Amino acid sequence: MQDEIEQRGKPDVSLPPDAATELGITDHIEGSGTEAVPTSTVLVHYVGVGQATAQEFDSSWSRNDPIEFGLNQVIQGWSEGIVGMKEGGRRELVIPGHLAYGSRPPTPAIQPDETLVFVVDLIAVR
């Protein structure tokens, strides 16, 4: 699965014109492997862009290093947005600020309450 995803390469991110008020989920590629559940640990490649700044603030693709984490260890938009995704899939998450970092983002690259857009490739569910 990882080889297939690596061959796709880093995705482009399209930004909505306005800040989001609720979680948006769009599957660009539907996976065919194991489905993520709320208690899953997942291995993903992703790119994240701030809607207000139009700036990429993080990307495992840029580091060439996928990341593994439990869905209970990340922002609420990821915890909710990855559930139901299947291995091999590519999903876009448009996450409103209150489901991301709220008024206290971890880096100056993200503005307070900023809508974040992620494109996530699910490599493995553990």
Kindly name the residue from 5, 82, 101, 123 that is annotated as catalytic: 101
82 is catalytic: no
Kindly name the residue from 25, 29, 67, 75 that is annotated as catalytic: 75
Kindly name the residue from 46, 82, 121, 123 that is annotated as catalytic: 46
CA-CA distance, 125 to 73, in Å (whole number)?
Answer: 15
| CA distances (Å), origin 3, targets 23, 26, 62 | 29, 23, 16
- Structural tokens at position 104: 């206290």
58 is catalytic: yes
Kindly name the residue from 82, 95, 110, 118 that is annotated as catalytic: 118
Give the CA-trace dihedral at 102, 21, 118, 49, to 10 degrees: -70
118 is catalytic: yes
25 is catalytic: no
DSSP assigned state of 12:
P
Q: Which residues are catalytic?
A: 46, 57-58, 75, 101, 118
